[in-house]
């Protein structure tokens, strides 16, 4: 049970805290040629910037949590405040008006790993990690993808062999965001190679600082290294850190994947400011009256707004206490489609200026978005996998025939 506090009193308490600690946001107005022209899809930071951003995020997360706003709806037994979702929405609404440090480094841990721990973790794991994650004391990552499995998660080969009260893990994971900063990771391993591939998997929480864990950055064609590959050599995980039942890892993975698509798809992929930037780009390049460019712009505006409405519907379902559903696969597909249309549009407008740096503001910078798009198409499930989910679970179409 949570505390007895009215929404009015909670709002006053939250506003007093924010006012005392961070300034109000200034109204953002786009002006061509002013400020940064960076439009990258993926964060491209140096190790020094990563460490500075983490320190800033951790300090703010800890201050927010200690003031009672870090996990408004969480169970009091694990450090939450135990209040209804309307209080959480109130906090996010007020926080959005203030200039706060970015907490994106905690996004995967809180958006994907923590809900899975709540659903499938042992009491020992819940006690040890849920409060620490929501307070910003530790960073979490997701260890699913493998070089030989692609989007076929059930085809993974990282092995976990039981040794008494421990499991010994060997294998490799890939495309892991924030692995280089993470303290813990959610990993799915093959625990019984003799069972059908969906039934021989087990999930765990692994200490990313344990002996045998090696994290290597993966350099992208954007020039950055937003992802990592992670190698596990005789890494020992206590059985208390197992998620769910032995060989029941597929249901654990599905819990995480649905939350992942909620986190990725819920972003929407742009908004009024992004569309304004594209319209001004067309004007600056003298293409605003080009009927083909105008058609591309209009199509992008319509699809962005529709995606926004769909996301509101899907997130309202989550806010009401329902589990994220396959509708969020549609949200993620819409995001990649809209980013693809954006890439096509800027390519049409800029031509060679997209790939040849002339020094002109708002031109070559778009190259990072175009080069980052393939990574977005893979993150959270490829477009092809998500189309199957929408077709089968939303539209009720027959399942795709299994390979013989």
Active-site positions read 260
**Which residues have CB under 8 Å from 202's CB, separation 6+?**
160, 167, 188, 189, 191, 242, 243, 244, 245, 246, 247, 248, 249
CA distance 70 to 80: 8
Question: What is the SS3 assignment for 319-365?
Answer: HCCCCCCCHHHHHHHHHHHHHHHHHHHHHHHHHHHHCCCCCCCCCCC
CA distance 323 to 332: 16
- Looking at residue 28, the DSSP 8-state letter turns out to be P
CA distance 81 to 68: 7
**Terminal Cα-to-Cα distance of the chain (whole angstroms):** 53
CA distance 123 to 182: 22
**Which residues have CB under 8 Å from 119's CB, separation 6+?**
252, 255
């Amino acid at each position: 049970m949570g505390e007895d506090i009215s929404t009015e009193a909670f709002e006053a308490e939250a506003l007093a805290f924010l006012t005392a600690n961070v300034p109000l946001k200034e109204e953002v107005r786009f002006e061509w040629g002013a400020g940064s022209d960076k439009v990258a899809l993926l964060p491209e930071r140096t190790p020094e910037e990563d460490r500075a951003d983490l320190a800033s995020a951790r300090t703010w997360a800890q201050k927010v949590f200690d003031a009672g706003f870090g996990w408004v709806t969480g169970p009091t037994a694990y450090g939450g405040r135990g209040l209804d979702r309307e209080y959480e929405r109130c906090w996010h609404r007020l926080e959005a008006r203030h200039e706060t440090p970015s907490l994106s480094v905690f996004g995967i841990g809180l958006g994907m790993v923590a809900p899975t721990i709540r659903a499938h973790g042992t009491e020992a794991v819940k006690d040890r990690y849920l409060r620490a994650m929501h307070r910003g004391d530790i960073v979490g990552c997701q260890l699913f993808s493998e070089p030989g499995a692609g989007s076929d998660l059930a085809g993974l080969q990282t092995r976990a062999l039981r040794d008494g009260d421990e499991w010994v893990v060997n294998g490799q994971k890939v495309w892991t965001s924030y692995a280089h900063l993470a303290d813990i990771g959610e990993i799915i391993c093959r625990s019984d190679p003799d069972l059908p591939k969906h039934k021989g998997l087990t999930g765990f929480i692994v200490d990313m600082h344990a002996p045998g864990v090696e994290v290597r950055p993966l350099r992208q064609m954007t020039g950055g290294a937003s992802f990592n590959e992670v190698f596990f050599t005789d890494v020992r995980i206590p059985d208390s850190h197992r998620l769910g039942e032995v060989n029941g890892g597929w249901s654990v993975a599905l819990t995480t994947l649905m939350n992942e698509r909620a986190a990725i798809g819920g972003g929407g992929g742009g908004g009024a400011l992004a569309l304004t930037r594209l319209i001004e780009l067309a004007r600056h390049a003298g293409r605003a009256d080009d009927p083909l460019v105008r058609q591309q712009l209009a199509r992008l505006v319509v699809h962005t707004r529709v995606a926004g409405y769909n996301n509101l519907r899907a997130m309202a379902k989550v806010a009401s206490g329902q589990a994220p559903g396959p509708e969020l696969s549609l949200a993620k597909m819409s995001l990649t489609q809209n980013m693809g249309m954006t890439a096509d549009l800027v390519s049409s407008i800029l031509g060679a200026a997209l790939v040849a740096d002339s020094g002109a503001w708002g031109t070559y910078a778009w190259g990072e978005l175009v080069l980052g798009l393939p990574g977005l198409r893979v993150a959270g499930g490829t477009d092809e996998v998500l189309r199957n989910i929408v077709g089968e679970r939303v539209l009720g179409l027959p399942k795709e025939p299994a390979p013989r």
